[in-house]
Amino acid sequence: MKIYKVTNIVGNEGFACMRQSNKQYVREVEVLDVWWDDWCSGGKKIGDFVNCIGADICKASVFEALHKHFSTLKAVPLRINKTQKELTAKDPKRLRWLPQEKVSLVAFYAPEYFDCLPQSTIVRSERGIEELIGVADLRGDILIPRKEGKGIFFSKEVVRNYDFFTLKGSGLELCTEKVKTFCEVQGYENVVFLEMGEVV
């Protein structure tokens, strides 16, 4: 069974994006501080999934549907703060990257951590940074496919029936093909699934 990382196209036309507090980690807070970001925004529309580096964010209604089918997921409410540009703008409604609609959003994560198998293609650099070799990647809006035989591999005896989980020793959130298929059937927008490896 293939496994994926949930992501979004940065600057995707029409969709707003967020940034989170660099002093918070989604697993350790009761409320996550976020801001609407103009830097990588493609517009002011709020998608079913919202791009935010360091956190997976979706509409509360999407989370409820996911949680109904994949019950191990955890949600963290958001506190949406105003940026300096919003506070000083004469007319904030004219900011092309700032959503005007009020939509309930949450951050979500998988609390289960699993270690990968030795055949996983992970390389540690001299600075201690781990690099995943051969996994799918998104460069702008161009999808670079996963290389055959490369990626992160997990034992099915370890993963069992979990469809969302995290790579042990990292913040890398992963999901199975079941999650990808569910989201595609629902027709969720502003979400991309990058193939990262397999459960074997």
- Residue 93 confidence (pLDDT): 86
CA gap 133, 26 in Å, rounded = 26
Q: What pairs with residue 197 in β-bridges?
A: 3, 152
The set of residues, in sequence order, having a beta carbon less than 8 Å from that of 87 and lying 6+ positions away, is none
Summarize the confidence of residues 127-132 as an average pLDDT.
Answer: 76
Closest CA to 96 of 9, 34, 18, 37: 37
Q: What is the pTM of this model?
A: 0.91
**What distances in angstroms separate CA 4 from CA 37, 179, 194, one per listed residue?**
26, 9, 5
Summarize the confidence of residues 118-139 as an average pLDDT.
Answer: 86
Query: Could you give the 3-state DSSP secondary structure of residue 28?
Result: helix
pLDDT digits (tens, 9 = 90+) for 62-95: 999 999 999 999 999 999 999 999 999 999 888 9
Query: Could you give the 3-state DSSP secondary structure of residue 12?
Result: coil
**What distances in angstroms separate CA 49 from CA 16, 89, 159, one per listed residue?**
10, 27, 25
